[in-house]
Amino acid sequence: MRARLVSSTAAALALGALLLPGTAQASPAPAVPVVDVRAHDSTAGTALASGYNEPGTELRVSSGRTSSARWLEIDYQVQETGYWCGPAATRIALSARTGPPSQGELAAQLGTTEAGTDHISQVTNVLNARLGGGWYETKEMPNDPPTQGQRDLLWHDIVFDIDRGYPLVANIVAPPGNQPPGYPPDQTIYHYFTIFGYDAVDRTVLIADPASFGGNQIYWISFDQLATLIPPKGYSA
């Protein structure tokens, strides 16, 4: 059984306050769409396009679980610049545990430049600094393809962390022919995204992707593909 992504119906907010004659009523802030991940009737690769794809576009994803799957509640945002995937992915991971800061604050703390966020250890350090307790560790995957031991550790980390309420952040390299949904097929993409769910039966993982290539923001990919995307980089778990 796979997970299906269902967007809630957006409702307009009404203001009940009385206004003095001639006073303009301010427009209410738009409600943040809520995404509910349900386990049935879909396949790996199912993706959610929010309908909006501007930098900073926000979604809230509800937590849930089935007999074989689990996913965490997160606040998702599209990355605000072309090189803030590291800050945006870090923000998504933090949102499962605490009220997250802005992407700009995290970019400064991560040392992100127009060349991006240099190393996954910078993400690990910021996650621990923000959350305390030293939960996160940097896990390197230098072998391409990864060894069986590296694959086994990655799956263990995904299940162990998500079962305890901690998303993972992965630094990936996605070349033509091995890319998540919507990626530019003629480019190699160096990127960060967040892993916040898994299904143990069909060995798939749930991704929050701040790049939103083609509007693909929340999607499932196979664990096997994830394991080939991370080398020679690493992940925070």
Q: Report strand pairing: 138-140 vs 234-236.
A: antiparallel
Mean pLDDT of all residues in 18-30 = 40
| Per-domain boundaries in the chain | 32-236
The tokens for 119 are 């190393």
pLDDT in tens, 67-83: 888 999 999 999 999 99
What distance lies between CA 22 and its chain's CA centroid? Answer: 45
Residue 56 vs residue 104, higher pLDDT: 104
CA dihedral 35, 70, 93, 135 (to 10 degrees): 160
Superfamily of domain 32-236: Cysteine proteinases (3.90.70.10)
The continuous run of DSSP H or E covering 150 comes out as helix 148-163
More confident residue, 50 or 106: 106
Q: List pLDDT tens digits, range 124-181.
A: 999 999 999 999 999 999 999 999 999 999 999 999 999 999 999 999 999 999 999 8
Q: Which class for 34: exposed (0-12), middle (13-18), buried (19 or more C-beta within 10 A)?
A: middle
Q: Which band of pLDDT confidence, cut at 50, 70 and 90, is reported for residue 50?
A: low
Q: What is the pLDDT of residue 46?
A: 53
For residues 137, 93, 214 and 139, what is the CA-based torsion angle, rounded to 10 degrees? 10
Q: For position 112, what pLDDT does the model report?
A: 98
pLDDT over 50 (residue 207): yes
Q: How confident is the model at residue 58 (pLDDT cuts 50, 70, 90)?
A: confident
Q: pTM of the predicted model, to two decimals?
A: 0.83
The overall average pLDDT reported for the chain is 84
What gap in Å lies between CA 14 and CA 25, rounded to an integer?
11
Confidence of residue 5 (pLDDT cuts 50, 70, 90): very low
Structure confidence at residue 11 (pLDDT): 28
